Structure 1
Amino acid sequence: MSDATHAMPKLHNAMWPGLVGKEEGSDHPPISLDRMLELTAAAEVNGQKFEGIDCFLFHPHTDPDASEDELKALADKVASHGLKIGSLVAPVWPGTVGASAMGSTEDTEKFKLAIEKACRIAKIFNDHGVREYGVIRIDSATGTETWFEDPAGSTAKIAATFQEAGKIAAGYGERLAAEGEICWAGMHSWRDVLNLLEAVDMPQTVGFQADLAHTYLYLMGYNAPEHALLKDGYSEEEFYAAYKTMTDALRPWTIDFHVAQNDGTVHGTGAHDKTGRHCPADDPNGKLDITKCSGYWLEGAKDRGIKHICWDGCMFPNEMLEQSGTWNTILDAMVKVRGAHGWA
């Protein structure tokens, strides 16, 4: 079936690859939102273009305390490129607005404040018309080291914070998607994130954000060897059996999805360390059949309210991000995913 019959899900590009792992004064400085929008809008594959972006709600791209007029101007700018806004990344981390979801009362109040600010921005974008779908992405905003000191107690603390955050989001008509990534406490393995979501027990409001690159590391048991589903040297048959086990468990919770590639290594830059390495879509060392693996997550996606998918390729060299060919290759991978698994 050709992609022409599949209007959904919409194809989005993430803006945070211009920020995550980037450092001022280095050879990989932040790339402005304006430039990321230009690169996104310029990409084209057989007449298909990106249809939207997902936004990172922190400096230098978006001031979480920006005025309504400033946010409307940002919305106008995005719309001027023929793009929509989808999911928003809440500034939940220490050093931004928020703090640890399993920290002190002061920390958890900061975490909830970050959700409040993200929901406020979402409402302004919604009222403007540039945003018609998407979720607000969160994580536990703390590393794994402290979590391991008291796994059960730590998960209970995160769950309690996520429940309070979920109440805030529900009041705005928003949903929260917890990012599955091995660097986040309580979300560092497929089994632990499942335990966390079940503890939160708000399936209509708090769900899962699956990223192909990050969830590949779940299979290998990085940061949680006891939950590994594969060992090095696995066969193709073993891989897809393990992949089915993981996706069957997490797919019912999945309300946001990132297309990505991973070469099986752990990588980090700057403050964002020990995470799954995102690779170019056509990386010869990529471990994933992007189109086939996406299908495991997108089964039933329409029924879960997913209306777009987003590319995520963090910590690519700036030189690579500035090349038009990079984005055309990414868009081509996205088109193939929708062609195989999309809907009318």
Structure 2
Amino acid sequence: MASNNSYPKLHNATWPGVVGKGAPDSEPIIPLDTLLKLTAGAEAGGQKFDGVDLWLADPHISIDSSPDDIKRVSDHIASFGLEVGSFVAPIWGGAGGGSAMGDADEVKRFLTQVKKACQIGQWMREIGIRPSGGIRVDSSTGVEAWDQDPEGNTRKIAATFREAGRIAQAHGEFIVAEGEICWGGMHSWRENLKLLEMVGMPGVVGYQADMAHSMLFVLGANAEKDRILPPDFDWADKPALDAAYRQVADALRPWTLDFHVAQNDGTTFGSGDHEKTGRHCQVDDPNGRLDVVKHAGYWLRDEKGELTKTMRHICWDGCMFPNAVMESQETWNRILGQMVQVRDAHGWRE
């Protein structure tokens, strides 16, 4: 029987229609409208998605949008019965940004993209369509480049993130940094913790926990020294996986301001121009290593098992799936059903 919890709100991500797509050797980008229709059309036990998290780059929503542009797109999203949550800011060099540990020009471009995203966020809050969510960033640099000077480069990234936090504060926003094994200085759970502590702006610059990406940290992918589980780990040993994953969550949960429900099979994958990172699996994939509902609780409840209520909404993230999977309504019905179970188990009512 459903719990009838009303929080956290349940959002779908739109960037899986873009990430890993559009390159000559990959599938076409999925239009924003297609994703909005699929999100609005999803249903599970009488429940619907409450909103979407957005990709602020062409061809979805331009980072250079005007106030009138944002009013039009907000009205359009609202016509589907959806609200807006977190944004992905296009801070990478290929999207007009630059490395967070780069030279002065690169850092300036990075921060300019953050400022544009924060301004759009402020406009949407004023419109009333965006009651929750932060601005998502990463270090916009690879592990190999970072590894040339780990201490110095982490200090540079922290300085850039600190300035991004100040920009966010000025717009009533906050920054969420998503650690993945492909981002230099954010490629292990210890490096993420070190970076966030160095930034030193809790509540303003925090962590965006993706269940799939964070799970790869226990394997020490791209960071052998921070491996928790042994190389010959037996996936049948569920208690050991639980303990390792809880160690990661306990370290990063105090910094977590945004949360992605996801599944992972313990492998890496890349598509198009996206480097290999933790593979997202379909929510019902028999090879999935996570107990999605149980392990979501590691992020949504504290070490005593009490609800943190930090995240007013949670989002499904599933990048680099084939378009045939992404464009099937049944895919989103199943995902929504799993997210409803997460909210039933770890949500609350207001």
TM-score (norm 1): 0.97
Q: Does 1:233 align with 2:234?
A: yes
Equivalent residue number for residue 50 of structure 2 = 51
Partner of 2:317: 312
State the alpha-carbon separation in 2 of the partners of residues 241 and 303 from structure 1: 20
Aligned ranges 1:72-151 → 2 under 5 Å: 72-151=71-150
Query: Which of 241, 259, 265 is the aligned partner of 1:263?
Result: 265
- Counterpart CA distance in 1 for 2:74 and 2:122 is 12
The one-letter amino acid of 2:112's match is: L
CA contact (8 A) 1:259 1:311 kept: yes
Matching of residues 134-173 of structure 1 within 5 Å: 134-173=133-172
CA deviation after TM superposition for structure 1 residue 244, in Å: 1.6
Q: Name the CA shift for 1:3/1:304 in 2 (closer, same or farther; >3 Å).
A: closer
SS in 2 for 1:8: coil
- For the Cα contact (< 8 Å) 1:97–1:113, is it kept in 2? no
Q: Distance in 1 between matches of 2:25 and 2:222?
A: 30
Question: What does residue 16 of structure 1 align with?
Answer: 15
5+ residue gaps, structure 1: none
1:234-292 residue CA offsets vs partner (Å, 9 max, x unmatched): 51111111112111110000000000000111000011111011010000100000000
User: CA 1:129 to 1:302, structure 2 compared with 1: closer, same or farther past 3 Å?
Assistant: farther
| Bigger Cα displacement from structure 2, 20-29 vs 251-260 | 20-29
After TM superposition, the score normalised by the length of structure 2 is 0.96
RMSD between aligned residues: 1.3
Residue in structure 2 matched with residue 250 of structure 1 by the alignment: 252
Amino acid at match of 1:340: A
Aligned to 1:66: 65
Counterpart of 2:345 in structure 1 is 340
What is aligned with 1:286?
Answer: 288
1:44 partner amino acid:
E
AA paired with 1:233?
D
- Give the whole-Å Cα distance in 2 for the aligned partners of 1:60 and 1:228: 38
Structure 2 CA distance for partners of 1:26 and 1:46, relative to 1, 3 Å: same
CA contact (8 A) 1:229 1:242 kept: yes
Q: Percent identity?
A: 54
Distance in 1 of aligned mates of 2:6 and 2:271:
36
In the alignment, the residues of structure 2 paired with residue 104 and residue 58 of structure 1 have an alpha-carbon distance, to the nearest angstrom, of 23
Q: Which 4+ residue blocks in structure 1 deviate beyond 2 angstroms?
A: 24-27, 300-305
- 1:277 and 2:279 aligned: yes
Q: Which amino acid aligns with 2:13?
A: A
| Gapped regions of structure 2 (runs ≥ 5) | none
